[in-house]
Amino acid sequence: MLTATKVKSLKAKEKLYTVADDAGLSLEVTPTGAKRWRFRYRFEGKPMRKSLGVFPDVSLSRAREKRDAARISIADGIDPFVKLQEIATPKTDEKTFREWSQYYMQKVSNDVSEAHIARSLKGWKKDVYDVIGEKPMNDIKPKDIITILGVMTDRGARESAKKTFSSISRVFDVAIANYPDEVEINPCKSVSLKDVVGVSKTNNYPIITNDRELGTLLNLIDEYKGHISTKLALKLIAHTFVRPTNIRHAKWTEIDLNTKQWIIPSSKMKTKKELIVPLSKQSIMIIEEAKQYNADSKLLFPSTRGKDTPLSDAAMVGALRRIGYTKEEIVAHSFRGIFSTIAHEDGRFAHNVIETQLAHTVGSKVSQAYNRALYLKERTEMMDWYSHHLDCVREA
């Protein structure tokens, strides 16, 4: 696999040449010294090759993110590089929701996270395409949207229904903004989400903050006999309390052991802002152990299904159930609340420092615009303190 240093060092030759990275991604170097990212894949049995941009405008990490997003789309049967103008339909106003959703994914691919793309595709495939996928956009009515939401709500997927509703609405909004002569109206604007789906009661994630009970949990994780990736992922999330999706999709390219930092790119963050996670010595030990098992993968914690397949949502949750905890007692997301409660109650670190490390938005939009402080020194001290605290409760 390529490294950032190697990409920079590649020199021009008399003839164009290509250097492979991984999973279809390669870098093409021209005789003039230009470096262009290329992605090879197969769609409907046909070999394809597309450009992902030019280095250094598109970095190695960004090229990999674009490749991974494309692979998610391909796995769901959607060509990520299809252009709306190329779709062969008799009349422009007969382009279907499925086709416009492909256009939407292309349009926003540089502005949204991989998680957003994967979640939207999954939701459309499961609940949307069967109802409106083959309908021309201007034939889709509010009652169609209500039908989709009703089916999802009836099976208890209220929160997923809200996200699916939002993603459908965004497809219409982007289509109207760019092709107002072809798409007339967004039917979602005539649907009251609250009235169809209802108001859900906010449920806080369960947490364990009692020293003895928390120590028991940590020891049981240490003793877990299941898949090593799952065990190490649970150990690292306890010390870093990032969102579970960030643990599951953590890549070696994001880890810098020289600076003792894990840099999660903005494309993977809910806030769309890069997050620096200072790594304590305990976290580094976990990462180094993971490297003993998974150095040949791009992921810190690959699934049993393949070295480049991330852990599923259920993997860490299933491990917590197998060591004896119910969903009312602990979930993977609970480690964020555990840290927040312990850190706030201890009082030695400021609220803004704690919330910044949790990647929470702090203050008004005005204060956010002016407050550029990363509190990196304080956060580094805090991460060391918290890992030491976890060691103490585990050994007590």
pLDDT in tens, 306-340: 888 898 878 898 999 999 998 888 999 999 999 99
Report the pLDDT value the prediction gives residue 46, as an integer from 0 to 100: 81
Closest CA to 227 of 283, 303, 310: 303
> Which of 187-201, 228-242, 260-274, 301-315 shows the highest mean pLDDT?
228-242
The contacts of residue 208 (CB under 8 Å, 6+ apart) are: 214, 217, 329, 330, 334, 338
Rounded to the nearest 5°, which phi and psi values hold at 315? -60, -55
Residue 23 tokens read as 């999973």
Report the pLDDT value the prediction gives residue 340, as an integer from 0 to 100: 93
Longest alpha-carbon distance in the chain: 73
- pLDDT tops 70 at residue 115: no
Q: Which residues of 93-125 are buried (b: 16+ CB within 10 A; e: fewer)?
A: eebbbbbbbbbbbbbebeebbbbbbbbbbebbe
What are the C-alpha distances in Å from 372 to residues 193, 277, 376? 36, 17, 11
What are the C-alpha distances in Å from 99 to residues 133, 143, 146, 184? 8, 21, 21, 16
Asked if omega into 56 is within 30° of 0 (cis), the reply is yes
Distance from C-alpha of 5 to C-alpha of 9, rounded to nearest angstrom: 6
Task: Give yes or no for a contact between 60 and 75, defined as CB atoms under 8 angstroms apart.
Answer: no
At residue 98, the 3 state secondary structure works out as helix
The residue written with tokens 């020293």 in the block is: 211
- Fold classification of 211-395 (topology level): hpI Integrase; Chain A (1.10.443)
Residue 217 binned pLDDT confidence (cut-offs 50, 70, 90): very high
- pLDDT tops 90 at residue 56: no
Residue 363 binned pLDDT confidence (cut-offs 50, 70, 90): low
* Predicted confidence (pLDDT) per residue in 82-97, tens digit: 644 444 433 445 788 9
Domain borders along the chain are 1-58, 82-202, 211-395
User: Which has the higher per-residue pLDDT, 35 or 44?
Assistant: 35
At residue 47, the 3 state secondary structure works out as strand
Residue 285 binned pLDDT confidence (cut-offs 50, 70, 90): very high
Closest CA to 293 of 284, 280, 305, 302: 302
Report the pLDDT value the prediction gives residue 113, as an integer from 0 to 100: 62
The residue written with tokens 């170097």 in the block is: 29
- pLDDT tops 50 at residue 250: yes
State in words which class domain 82-202 has: mainly alpha
Report the pLDDT value the prediction gives residue 304, as an integer from 0 to 100: 86
DSSP state of 280: P
Q: Percent of the chain, pLDDT > 90?
A: 39
CATH number for the domain whose boundaries are 1-58: 3.30.160.390
Task: Give yes or no for a contact between 351 and 344, defined as CB atoms under 8 angstroms apart.
Answer: yes
Report the pLDDT value the prediction gives residue 273, as an integer from 0 to 100: 83
Q: Where are the alpha helices (DSSP H) in the chain?
A: 4-9, 60-75, 97-108, 114-123, 142-154, 158-178, 193-197, 211-222, 228-240, 244-248, 281-294, 313-322, 334-346, 351-357, 365-370, 376-395
* Predicted confidence (pLDDT) per residue in 187-202, tens digit: 999 998 888 887 655 5
Report the pLDDT value the prediction gives residue 246, as an integer from 0 to 100: 94
Report the pLDDT value the prediction gives residue 89, as an integer from 0 to 100: 38
pTM, entire model: 0.55
Report the pLDDT value the prediction gives residue 189, as an integer from 0 to 100: 92
Report the pLDDT value the prediction gives residue 148, as an integer from 0 to 100: 92
> Which of 62-71, 110-119, 155-164, 294-303 shows the highest mean pLDDT?
294-303
Q: Mean pLDDT of all residues in the chain?
A: 85
